[in-house]
Amino acid sequence: MAATAHVVRRLALLGAAAMAACAEPEPEPMVRLIVGSEAAVPAIVDEVLVEITASRTAAGATCIPSSRSFHLRGPDDLPLRVAYVPGRTYASWVAFRVTWMRAGATVAIRELLEPLGAPGVVELPVALESACLRAACGTDVQCARGVCTPFPTPDPFDPRLIDSGVRCNSTGE
């Protein structure tokens, strides 16, 4: 009887271990920036520049920003999807700077800051709104819903916050 109880206990432990091994791993955290535009492509916007930096502390200690330029030939080139997967170190927050351009000149800029840490994918949509074309904010402020507003403070892209020699990584999808 004791041997049978031992075998049953052992089988139960093996079953629990097998179920744990089959459980899906928790997804890695990722932020996916989804860039769009209400402005006509390529008549008003023909390029989007996306810059990314991330921090290892809440106050900032950032990796060297990475950037990627996307040339737009037509409306089917949008939305753009750019993903940031934090490593173990730069996992406090991620900042995106999106610059919509036409013929090399800035049309509008937007900066977004997203806290990191939760598992799974966070989708962060941002679009150049038609109202921002009329607002003509320039390059020293950003536009959201037709209103010119200051960039986040402190500036996540401030060179004084950068950990020299540490690059940020991102992927264009």
- The confidence band for 74, taking pLDDT boundaries of 50, 70 and 90, is very high
Contact of 141 with 152, CB cutoff 8 Å? no
Strand partners, 125: 34
pLDDT value, residue 10 = 47
Contact of 131 with 92, CB cutoff 8 Å? no
Residue 132 burial (10 A CB sphere; 0-12, 13-18, 19+) = buried
pLDDT value, residue 24 = 67
Task: Give the lowest-confidence range in 33-42, 65-74, 111-120.
Answer: 111-120
Q: What is the pLDDT of residues 123-153, one digit of tens each?
A: 999 999 999 988 888 788 898 888 999 988 8
Q: What is the pLDDT of residues 10-27, one digit of tens each?
A: 444 444 444 455 556 667
Residue 4 burial (10 A CB sphere; 0-12, 13-18, 19+) = exposed
CATH 3.40.1660 given to domain 30-172: no
Domain positions in the chain are 30-172
